[in-house]
Amino acid sequence: MSARHHVFSERHFKMFSDDRASISRRMFSASAFNKFSLMASKPHRLHPRAALQGAAKKPRMMTAAASGESSVMKDAFSRYADYLNQLNDKRERVVKASRDITINSKKVIFQVHRMSKYNREEVLDKAEKDLAAVTEQYVARLVKELGGTDFWKLRRAYSPGVQEYVEAATLCKFCKTGTLLNLDEINSGLSPLSDPSVDPLQINVLDYLLGLADLTGELMRLAIGRISDGELEFAEKICRFVREIYRELKLLAPSMDDNHDMKTKMDTMLQSVVKIENACFSGCLTWSDKVFSSGSQRRKNYRWLLIHLLSSL
């Protein structure tokens, strides 16, 4: 190849390369411009009618009727809030009063369990004074708090204290007289504590029965303690009393299907009856060894007592 032709080829190749590079730069610039134009936000065009409507739109003004309705609703919610706050505060006070009644009623029950055949009158007198103090101080505060109101709304708040109070009162009554303190007697004792101008607090039947069911457990402990001191006649009296309570409550339990507490306490009550019967029977067998080794008259009296106890079990 000649030198002239070689120089021409190099020059032609160089021009071709420059044109190709220029074309590539122009294509890249065009592509970048298209992308940028697509990313840019387009101006929103409003319809002439919409633009006129937007210009003519004014802020909504509340009418007098709507303003009055809003004020009435605010007042109603304010009253409801005040009522709920007062009810919650009263519930807290009632719970505290119920707790105080429970604690002090248990002290009365513990006082009764200190009884023996040597100090029965003294212990029972002290227990009755303590029970009167519980009534005047703590139960009176509960009555004052709930008097004249719908106290059934707060029943769950004060029910444990009332049940414990019923248990203590009925235990003192039985140990003193051998009889059961009924619901009317308890409510009549609470009536002087309330203001005559308002409806007094009345212990309902359910709380009374639940407290009576708890009484059988305390009588079971009392009977076992009396057997250990040799008071078999008093233990046999407790056994008959507890069995009579269980028999009567067993008739009422099927009609109290919505009360789980009574069903649970009925099972516990049956266990208490069985424990008292077994304790009385074991006491008879234990004391028989001591009695039959003594004189004939004492042996004769004890034989009659043993037959009477076994026939009642």
* pLDDT tens track for 133-162: 999 999 999 988 887 676 778 888 999 999
**Spatial contact of 160 and 95, defined as CB atoms under 8 Å apart:** no
Q: Which residues contact 249 (CB under 8 A, 6 or more apart)?
A: 209, 212, 213, 262, 266, 269
Residue 257 backbone phi and psi in degrees, to 5:
-65, -25
Which structural domains are found in the chain, ordered by start? 86-203 (1.20.58.190), 206-313 (1.20.58)
Query: Model's pTM, two decimal places?
Result: 0.70
161-203 pLDDT, tens per residue? Answer: 999 999 999 999 999 999 999 999 999 988 888 777 777 788 8
